[in-house]
Structures are given as structure tokens and as C-alpha cells.
Amino acid sequence: MHYIDPHIHMVSRTTDDYEAMREAGIVAVIEPAFWLGQPRTTVGSFKDYFSMLVGWERFRASQFGIKHYCTIGLNSKEANNEELAEQVMEVLPQFLAKEGVVAVGEIGYDDQSQAEDKYFRLQLELAKEFELPVMVHTPHRDKKNGTLRSMDVIQEHGIPEHMVVIDHNNEETVKHVLDRGFWAAFTIYPKTKMSKMRMVNIVNTYGSEKIIVDSSADWGVSDPLSVPRTAALMRENGIAEHHIHLTCYQNALTVYGQSGQFNESGWKQDRVVKQDDLHKGNSVLRGQEAKEINFKNSIGD
């Protein structure tokens, strides 16, 4: 069984996590740009962080057979430093144009301040310009109002609902999100946000059509195996395989696939190199038989 974790902050995770994730069947991850637990003070820190998401972290993941994608955006917390936010907005387009950037995100509200609202709206316009989906972070505090307000603003900007994932849902928000036609993602945390068992109940109640499971694992108490573990619990509780497939793999592929940057060939392609093809006309094989080497999920394709 293959899984996608469409929201995980791998820069905070170890190689042990990568190994365990691959072992558990995770073939692809999406790493949304977010804050680092402490505010940045210069635009250079943002540039280097974005570069890391499309460079070193992408390479690191490939070493463990996991295909790494990301979303690029100015998060809501740091949108409150307006002077810096202006400079970050300047560099965003260059990163949004890059390969493997599957959405603008995670963006939205934290305190629901005026500055947050301003940069949320500006980035929604960028999403339209670059024809990318949007990953929306909903606030921890005053969650329900923040979620409703996010959806109002998105609709006001004329972005079609099928292009938007509203993340970090709970029992209080899910119905609103689904009724309005958006994708509803759930972050499964060991302690806060959403538990695995509550997730099972959500799927029992609302089905799987537009529901997505993710871990949002980062530098805090979180679990990089939340997606496969939730899938296992669904299975134990008799939820049909196709619901598991949709919520833990296919829905993420469908919504972020709309970027044109996210499709199964990224991780399903095996490359075969025939040794005797490596260099034509030059016999290097002294009597040995040519081997076929199979590179599973190799990077570079």
C-alpha cells in the first residue's frame, strides 16, 4: 500500500524518520513552507529556506526513495512583520515558478490581523497568476471563524473551490468546508488537533470524497507516520479500502496534481540501465556477463 503525506515539514525530521516513512509505504511528501518556530528577521533567511525546500531537502528525501514536493508561501504569523513581508512577496514568484512546487501555501490566518488579511489576499492573487492550487492553514485560536473567513475571502477572489485545500480541520469545521465544495484536510497529531480515532469517525460520517489525511509533522510533538497509522486504524475499524486509498493517497494526488507538478510518474518510474549499453563500442566487460541494474524510484525523473 502506498501513501502520500501531503503536509509534513521534513526539514525538522531525521533520516530515521525518512527510513521509517518509506518502510511504512510513504512514496511522496509535500512540504509546505511555514515558519520555523521562531520568527525570521531578514529576507535572506526566507530565500535560503525556500531554496532548501527545492534543493537539499528534495535531494535528502530522494536518498530514501521518497519523492519530495513543496508549497511556497508567506505564512500568516510572519505576515505580521510588514516590512519583511513586503520583501518576501518580492521573491515569492521566482520560487512559485519552480519545478515540483505544487501549491501556494501554507497561507491564511493566525491572529486574523489586518496584515495577515492583506498578504493572504495578495498570495491568492499569485495563485491565480501561476495557476496553482492553494493550501490554507486555519488558525488554532478562534478556529471556526477563521476557517469561515478564509473561505469567504477565497470565494471573493474567485478561486474555484476544487483548487483549494482547507487544512487542520476538526469536527466543528468539516461540514462547512465540505458543504462549500472545498477539500478538507486533517492533521493527525498525537496530542492536539485531531486524533487517529476521531479521524476514523470523521470518515465514517462524511465518507472519503474530499477528505485528506496528513501529519503536519514538524519540530513539535508530532508523528511522521500519522498517515499510514491512521490508515491502519481505519482498516482495523472496517473502513473500506477505497476510502483509505482516497483519504491517504489519491485525493492529495488529485488536488495538487492540478499544478501539473505532481503525478505518479514521479515515483512510479523505475529506471533500468543495461551495463553493456553504457558506452557503445568500448568493451569493458572482460568476459563477465552484463548486469541489468534496476534503480527503483530513482531521482531525476
Cβ 216 to another protein shortest distance, Å: 23
Cβ 285 to another protein shortest distance, Å: 7
Which helix (H) or strand (E) segment holds residue 200: the answer is helix 196-206
The total of other beta-carbon atoms located within 10 Å of residue 300's CB is 7
Which of residues 44 and 220 has its CB atom nearest to another protein in the complex?
Answer: 44
Closest residue by Cα to residue 119 from 151, 163, 75 = 75
Asked if residue 293 lies in contact with residue 273, where contact means CB atoms within 8 angstroms, the answer is: yes
Cβ 53 to another protein shortest distance, Å: 9
Cβ 106 to another protein shortest distance, Å: 19
Which of residues 59 and 219 has its CB atom nearest to another protein in the complex?
Answer: 59
Cβ 301 to another protein shortest distance, Å: 7
Asked if residue 110 lies in contact with residue 142, where contact means CB atoms within 8 angstroms, the answer is: no
Given the DSSP bridges, would you call strands 134-137 and 101-108 parallel, antiparallel or unpaired? parallel
Chain positions contacting another protein, by CB under 8 A: 47, 50-51, 54-56, 58-59, 91, 93-95, 97-100, 260, 275, 278-279, 282, 284-286, 288, 291, 293, 299-301
Pairwise CA distance, residues 163 & 127, whole Å: 10
Cβ 220 to another protein shortest distance, Å: 26
Pairwise CA distance, residues 147 & 138, whole Å: 6
Which of residues 98 and 121 has its CB atom nearest to another protein in the complex?
Answer: 98
Peptide bond into 172 cis (omega under 30): no
Cβ 90 to another protein shortest distance, Å: 12
Residue matched to cell numbers 469545521: 173
Residue-by-residue DSSP string for 256-299: HHTTTS--THHHH--EEEEGGGSSTT----SSPPPPEEEETT-T
Which of residues 41 and 282 has its CB atom nearest to another protein in the complex?
Answer: 282
Which of residues 91 and 253 has its CB atom nearest to another protein in the complex?
Answer: 91
Which of residues 179 and 265 has its CB atom nearest to another protein in the complex?
Answer: 265
Helices assigned H by DSSP within the chain: 15-23, 43-54, 56-62, 82-96, 114-130, 143-156, 174-179, 196-206, 226-236, 241-245, 251-257, 265-268
Q: Is 167 helix (H, G, I), strand (E, B) or coil?
A: strand
Which of residues 49 and 206 has its CB atom nearest to another protein in the complex?
Answer: 49
